[in-house]
Amino acid sequence: MYEREMRKCFRLAKKGYGKVSPNPLVGCVILDKNGNEISNGYHRRYGENHAERDALLKLTPSEAKGGTLIVNLEPCNHYGKTPPCSDLIIKYGIKRVVISTLDPNPKAYGGKEKLEQAGVEVITGVLEQEGRFLNRIFFNNIEHKRTYIVLKTATTIDGKIGTSSGDSKWITSAGARELARKFRQEYDAIMTTSSTVLADNPQMLHRNKIILDRNCRLDFNLNIFKQGNIILINGNNKKYNQEPPFNVQMIYVEEKNNKFNLKDIFNKIYGIGIMSVFVEAGSKLNGEIIKQDLADEIIQFTAPKILNDNSGISCYNGEKAEKISATKVYELKELKPIYPDYYARYVRK
């Protein structure tokens, strides 16, 4: 019961991708006494109205009274950027509230109990697994207090991201590349390395870009520095010959054996409010992230091409597993064609 309306909440919530972080994605549908939809809303942008408030304020209390409110996350019970949604629901005389997932945030939860104390019927757990997957970044941030890490790759069928000569343009189709650019916008920042920047001189359009440049190799005239906020990860307080542009923030990380401590990097960017990272880099960084078991999710685009070259550049270049039992295991969550290619989404098991 209420699955259809909850799925609409999910669709509405997704309109907030890339705009509501560090808040969760939330959509809301309101039914009248007869079960007819009379309003809906979603959390549009961080600092603006939550989904329940967005939907309720389109109605008068007399229109909403006795109705059912469906929302994918427990209504909040605290004063933040806006007042508690639970109070407004009670004020509008809503009879029943249907929730997919309870809020794990200790600052915000308690809405369910407040509603029940006011005589509102509360139903929880409707499409709970789907609701948790929708807000997997939010749940990860609250429960584990760390940045959610997504690896994106584009490979041939035999798992190569380039030929032995270094040629990699273009493995996948224009349609696949456009979809990958859309995926970028769902995350707080994109991450790459100086090697990728020097090889491709990309723009990598995004409001926040993180570049690992251990040996200060980059020139600030490269395309990637022309727009957005840049976070440069630098090793052992090394200095650039140029003055960094106004849009560049430097973060220094200790090195060990001529390598960055990746956990330290992700801890530091979490500390400055980056809740999710979309990694687009080469095989070495990909391999090291997998080796250290840091990837929460992998989005892999695959083209119907075979290099048939053992010397080609592999998607992951890290510490190899000696046994199948030692491999990193992910769960397939999504598989879709983007003719002639396809993409698969995997999450940590």
Residues with a known catalytic role: 52
Measured distance CA(172)–CA(304) in Å, rounded: 9
Tokens 């600052």 locate to 107
CB 299, CB 151: distance < 8 Å: yes
Phi-psi region at 28: left, alpha or beta (left = phi > 0; alpha = psi -120 to 50): beta
Instruction: Show the DSSP H helices in the chain as ranges.
Output: 3-13, 51-56, 61-64, 85-91, 111-117, 128-134, 136-144, 174-184, 194-200, 262-271, 283-291
DSSP state of 175: H
CB 85, CB 60: distance < 8 Å: no
Return the sign of the alpha-carbon dihedral for residues 14, 268, 260, 328.
negative
Measured distance CA(160)–CA(171) in Å, rounded: 9
Residue length of the chain: 349
Q: How do strand 68-73 and strand 96-101 relate by DSSP bridges? A: parallel
CB 15, CB 42: distance < 8 Å: yes
CB 136, CB 346: distance < 8 Å: no
Measured distance CA(100)–CA(132) in Å, rounded: 8
Measured distance CA(122)–CA(242) in Å, rounded: 60
